[in-house]
Amino acid sequence: THLSQTPNREFAVSTATLSPSNQPTPHVRICGFRGFFPTPNLSPPAVEALQQSGVGLNPDVFESDMLSFTTDARMEKVRDLDGADGAVEGVFWVKEVMSQWR
């Protein structure tokens, strides 16, 4: 894909949730792309922590187009994703080919 050709690893995630007054409210967050599941690009400390915990890494036997990104459970985007009822869109701007990838 074009994503493998770009050094840019950030993308926008958009959601729409209902506000406390029941009004649709858009949210956009910038996230760090970690690769495709089941083999995301992890930092060396993350790899070491998984190996030391006995969990280990996912086997390199599957291939998918499912995006992988990480975040902190305390961040607003977690609640936005959970409350979006499936209304989520991600978009990359791939400057090298002057194209959006959704």
Which pLDDT score is estimated for 84? 57
Residue with tokens 């993308």: 11
Could you give the angle at the alpha carbon of 4 between the alpha carbons of 82 and 10, nearest 5°?
A: 40
Q: What is the pTM of this model?
A: 0.65
CA dihedral 66, 68, 72, 74 (to 10 degrees): -10
SS3 string of the chain?
Answer: CHHHHCCCCEEEEEEEEECCCCCEEEEEEEEEEEEECCCCCCCHHHHHHHHHCCCCCCCCCCCCCCEEECCCCCCHHHHHHHCCCCCEEEEEEEHHHCEEEC
Place 79 in a pLDDT band, splitting at 50, 70 and 90: confident
Q: What is the pLDDT of residues 31-51, one digit of tens each?
A: 888 877 777 777 888 889 888
Place 21 in a pLDDT band, splitting at 50, 70 and 90: very high
Which pLDDT score is estimated for 86? 64
Q: What is the mean pLDDT of the chain?
A: 80
Are 51 and 57 in contact by the 8 Å Cβ rule? The answer is yes
Higher pLDDT, 22 or 56: 22
